[in-house]
């Protein structure tokens, strides 16, 4: 697809860990390849430590990539991103309490990003634009919200404000790093609906980073499942949820709490494993130590992505090719 | 019916605020049978954690329990002197806090922290302490080698399991858990819940579990209490409440989270915010957000009425004329 907003190829980001003698390399993300189309919500799903936030941070230019290429709006990105790119691909952070300056009014930070990223607007144009931005994310009445201080807003309202700030620079893609995980369940849905309306009304793409499969299913068009820094499965949401191919995706599905499902006592996985810290990794599938289907081959070489349909791919030796 | 180990009657907790006292827990009553798992769910600010801390007598200013009674095995906890209360704590009632990261001492090994609790509440010698510590850690599937580990060397899930091991040290009859799973991701969450369930079957302690995510407890708790603005609005068997919620707030909560099964559908959540606890509305506290509210709801506060084992606080379910 040539019209992709974002194309990531073989992106890796390693970190040096340990001391002088015990130094090692932590492979936070390893050879990740994916793309995001215009007006599309793509969910990056994985446990803590799967490398999903590292990908977002590399994309946002907070860390340079170790290797691999990022092509954004048809332009290949260098080591650091320019202000223009940061404006076109802003990030919404997880913590709504830590990401907003508490001593300035809500309007201040919004007007400031308008001033930086939208030089064509004059003062009254910026004021009008700020009101329309907060109203787009459902903060009403806009003019009054802009006069408030962050402590006067609830967690859900702050996260909506995070999206308004991201919208200020007229982005083509928003990086949303677990935007709802710190919110109450009853408030999450409102924010998920904001993401959907941004896609449908503003034609913004969203890279939605989460560990919650059910919310990913609710908002995302496509899903990418990460394990220990590598993509293990990707496909349209209904393909991945309807017919998960990789054993890790199945584990995630089985553990997602859902009162509508009966609790399968005998088939439920007694899994106390955790994703490994991938320091100086050898060959082999990284899920093999936890995998019920692991074979000798899984420990010897890394499986490559196999197409199960034009849109669904998974990296697992246990999958029979269609 | 067996004698309850915990009887809470008309418990009221107030926070002192500049605008006046805010009634965070507004007259909560329930019983907990030995070995029972009761989950309390509700939004942030509904008073669910405050209720737990009030039961455990852990509230500090500006919060204070203003009236009501908490009887544990027939003993009124609210009037106990501090020293007697201390003897009940950990031995009979233990608490697992929300954030294991902050609840564990970062400068002491897990073993030292377990030993600390033993020394404070028992007269065991070092040998007994070491044996018991190793035993509780193995109960929560943590390798005994981690007795020497510091909290930062454990993952989030293991820390939370270590907290549960500490709570189990003296085999209490009641464990109070305040959102122990909310900092964990789904896989760790599920295995923690499973472990709590297995231990409860094995050791027979009762659990009082608070969470905002009712899907977490859906498969584990015996009974479910839904709290709104400091009041219990619905209380019944967990499965029963999930399958047939009767209070409009409970059904709103059920419809607020997306599912992995069934056809994808549009969800709306519950619009609006919880009411002010300083100046609560005159009628039903949920009326301003309730899609079915009538004039009666806005005027009269409904009572919690139990019919066939299900308690509901709603005029539409229990019309006033019938009372």
- The residue of A41, A259, A262, A273 whose CB has the most chain B CBs within 10 angstroms, and thus the best one to mutate to test that interface, is A259
Checking if the pLDDT of A320 tops 60, the result is: yes
CB contact under 8 A, B213 and A257: yes
Q: What pLDDT sits at residue A87?
A: 84
Q: What is the pLDDT of residue B132?
A: 93
Q: What is the pLDDT of residue B249?
A: 93
At A281 the pLDDT is: 82
Structure-token pair, residue A220? 């995302």
Contact B261 A261 (CB under 8 A): yes
pLDDT of residue A80: 66
Closest approach of A315 to chain B, Cα-based (Å): 21
Per-residue pLDDT tens digits for A101-118: 889 998 998 998 899 888
CA atoms within 13 A on the CB side of B224: 30
Do A258 and B215 count as a contact with CB atoms less than 8 A apart? yes
Asked if the C-beta of B109 comes within 8 angstroms of chain A's C-beta atoms, the answer is no
Q: What is the chain B residue with the closest CA to A276? A: B155
Check B190 against A255: CB less than 8 A apart.
yes
Q: What is the pLDDT of residue A2?
A: 53
Predicted confidence at residue A266, as pLDDT, reads 40
Mean pLDDT of A176-196: 86
Around Cβ B296, how many Cβ atoms within 10 Å? 16
- pTM comes to 0.84
List pLDDT tens digits, range B209-224.
999 888 888 888 999 9
Q: What pLDDT sits at residue A278? A: 78
pLDDT tens for residues B49-83?
899 999 998 888 889 999 999 999 999 999 899 89
Closest C-alpha to A41, from A253, A236, A248: A236
Residues A226 and A240: their CA atoms lie apart, in Å, by 13
Q: Which residues of A158-195 are buried (b: 16+ CB within 10 A; e: fewer)?
A: bbbbbbbbbbbbebbbbbbbbbbbbbbbbbbbbbbbbb
pLDDT for the residue B67:
92
Q: Are strands A67-72 and A41-45 parallel, antiparallel or unpaired?
A: unpaired
* Residue B116 to residues B103, B106, B129, B148, B307, Cα–Cα distance (Å): 14, 14, 9, 14, 47
Q: What is the mean pLDDT of residues A225-252?
A: 92
Please identify among residues 10-49 of chain B the ones whose CB lies closer than 8 Å to any CB of chain A: 43-44
Query: Per residue of chain B (323 residues), what is the pLDDT tens digit?
Result: 578 999 999 999 999 988 889 999 999 999 999 999 999 998 888 889 899 999 998 888 889 999 999 999 999 999 899 899 888 888 899 999 877 667 889 999 999 999 999 999 989 999 999 999 999 998 888 888 889 999 888 888 888 889 999 999 999 999 999 988 877 777 788 888 888 998 999 999 999 999 988 888 888 899 999 999 999 999 999 989 988 999 999 988 888 878 887 777 788 778 777 888 888 888 999 999 898 999 999 999 999 999 888 999 999 988 876 55
pLDDT of residue B322: 57
**CB spacing of A185 vs B256 below 8 angstroms:** yes
Q: What is the pLDDT of residue A267?
A: 43
**pLDDT number for residue B182:** 76
On the question of pLDDT at A25 being above 90, the answer is: no
Q: Which pLDDT belongs to residue B28?
A: 94
Interchain pair B260, A274: CB under 8 A: no
Gap between the Cα atoms of A309 and A313, Å rounded? 7
Closest chain B C-alpha to A155 CA, distance in angstroms: 10
Instruction: Give the model confidence (pLDDT) of A27-51 as tens digits.
Output: 889 999 999 999 999 999 988 778 8
pLDDT tens for each residue of A112-161: 889 988 889 999 999 999 999 999 998 888 888 899 998 888 888 889 99
Q: Is the pLDDT of residue A75 over 80?
A: yes
What is the rounded CA–CA span in Å between residue B138 and residue B244? 39
B186 contacts on A by Cβ (under 8 Å): 47, 211-213, 252, 255-257
Question: Structural domains in chain B?
Answer: 6-92+174-312 (3.40.50.300), 102-171 (no CATH)
Q: What is the pLDDT of residue A23?
A: 79
B215: contact with A, CB 8 A cutoff: yes
Following CA atoms B275, B280, B281, B283 in sequence, which dihedral angle do they give, to the nearest 10 degrees? 110
Phi/psi of residue B227, each to 5°? -110, 140
- Chain B residues in contact with A211 by the CB 8 A cut-off are 185-186
CB contact, 8 Å: B210 with chain A? Answer: no
In the predicted structure, residue A262 carries a pLDDT above the cut 70: no
pLDDT digits over A273-315, tens only?
666 777 888 888 888 888 888 888 888 888 989 999 999 999 9
Q: Does B263 touch chain A (CB under 8 A)?
A: no
Q: If you measure CA to CA, which chain A residue comes closest to B259? A: A214
Q: What does the pLDDT average to over A207-233?
A: 92
Question: What is the rounded distance in angstroms from the CA atom of residue B314 to the CA atom of residue B296?
Answer: 11
A187 chain-B contacts, CB cut-off 8 A: 43, 269
* Residue A232 distance to chain B (closest CA, Å): 17
- Please check whether residue B272 touches A, CB under 8 A: no
Q: What percent of chain B has pLDDT over 90?
A: 50
**Partner residues linked to B17 by β-bridges:** B20
Q: Are the C-beta atoms of residues B227 and B212 closer than 8 Å to each other?
A: no
Q: Is the pLDDT of residue A1 over 50?
A: no
């Amino acid at each position: 697809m040539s019209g992709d907003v974002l194309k990531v190829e073989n992106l890796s980001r390693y970190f040096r860990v340990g001391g002088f003698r015990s130094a090692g390399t932590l492979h936070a993300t390893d050879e990740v390849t994916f793309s995001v189309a215009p007006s599309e919500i793509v969910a990056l799903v994985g446990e803590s430590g799967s490398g999903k936030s590292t990908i977002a941070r590399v994309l946002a230019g907070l860390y340079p990539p170790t290797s691999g290429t990022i092509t954004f709006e048809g332009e290949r990105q260098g080591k650091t991103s320019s202000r223009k790119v940061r404006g076109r691909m802003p990030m919404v952070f997880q913590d709504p309490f830590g990401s907003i300056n508490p001593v300035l009014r809500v309007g201040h930070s919004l007007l400031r990003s308008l001033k930086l990223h939208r030089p064509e607007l004059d003062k009254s144009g910026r004021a009008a634009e700020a009101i329309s931005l907060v109203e787009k994310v459902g903060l009403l009445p806009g003019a009054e919200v802009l006069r408030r201080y962050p402590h006067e807003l609830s967690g859900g309202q702050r996260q909506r404000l995070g999206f308004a700030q991201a919208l200020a620079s007229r982005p083509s893609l928003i990086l949303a790093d677990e935007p709802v995980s710190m919110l109450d369940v009853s408030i999450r849905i409102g924010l998920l609906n904001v993401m959907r309306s941004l896609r449908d009304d503003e034609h913004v793409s969203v890279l939605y980073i989460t560990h919650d499969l059910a919310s990913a299913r609710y908002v995302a068009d496509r899903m990418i499942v990460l394990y220990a820094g590598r993509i293990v499965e990707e496909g349209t949401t209904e393909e991945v949820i309807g017919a998960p191919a990789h054993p890790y995706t199945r584990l995630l599905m089985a553990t997602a709490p859902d009162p509508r499902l009966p609790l399968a006592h005998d088939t439920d996985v007694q899994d106390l494993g955790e994703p490994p810290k991938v320091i100086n990794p050898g060959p082999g599938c990284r899920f093999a130590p936890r995998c019920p289907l692991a074979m000798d081959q899984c420990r010897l070489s890394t499986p490559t992505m196999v197409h199960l349909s034009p849109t669904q791919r998974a990296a697992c030796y246990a999958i029979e090719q269609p | 019916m067996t004698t309850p180990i915990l009887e809470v009657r008309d418990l009221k907790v107030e926070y002192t605020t500049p605008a006046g006292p805010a009634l965070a827990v507004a007259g909560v009553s329930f019983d907990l049978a030995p070995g029972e798992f009761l989950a309390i769910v509700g939004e942030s600010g509904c008073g669910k954690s405050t209720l737990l801390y009030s039961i455990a007598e852990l509230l500090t200013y500006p919060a204070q329990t203003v009236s009501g009674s908490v009887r544990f095995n027939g003993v009124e906890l609210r009037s106990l002197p501090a020293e007697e209360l201390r003897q009940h704590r950990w031995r009979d009632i233990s608490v697992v806090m929300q954030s294991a990261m902050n609840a564990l001492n970062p400068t002491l090994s897990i073993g030292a922290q377990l030993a600390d609790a033993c020394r404070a509440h028992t007269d065991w010698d070092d040998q007994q302490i070491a044996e018991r510590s190793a035993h509780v850690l193995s109960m929560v599937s943590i390798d005994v080698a981690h007795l020497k580990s510091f909290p930062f060397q454990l993952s989030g899930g293991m820390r939370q399991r270590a907290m549960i091991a500490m709570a189990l040290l003296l085999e209490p009859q009641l464990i109070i858990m305040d959102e122990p799973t909310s900092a964990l991701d789904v896989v760790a969450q599920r295995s923690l819940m499973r472990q709590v369930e297995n231990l409860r079957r094995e050791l027979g302690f009762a659990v009082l579990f608070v969470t905002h995510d009712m899907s977490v407890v859906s498969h584990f708790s015996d009974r479910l209490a839904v709290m709104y603005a400091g009041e219990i609005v619905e209380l019944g068997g967990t499965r029963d409440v999930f399958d047939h919620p009767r209070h409009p707030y409970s059904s709103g909560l059920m419809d607020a989270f997306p599912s992995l099964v069934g056809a994808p559908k549009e969800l709306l959540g519950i619009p609006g915010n919880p009411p002010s606890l300083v100046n609560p509305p005159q009628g039903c506290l949920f009326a301003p957000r309730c899609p079915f509210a009538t004039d009666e709801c806005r005027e009269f506060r409904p009572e919690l009425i139990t019919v066939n084992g299900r308690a509901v606080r709603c005029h539409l379910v229990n019309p006033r004329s019938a009372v």
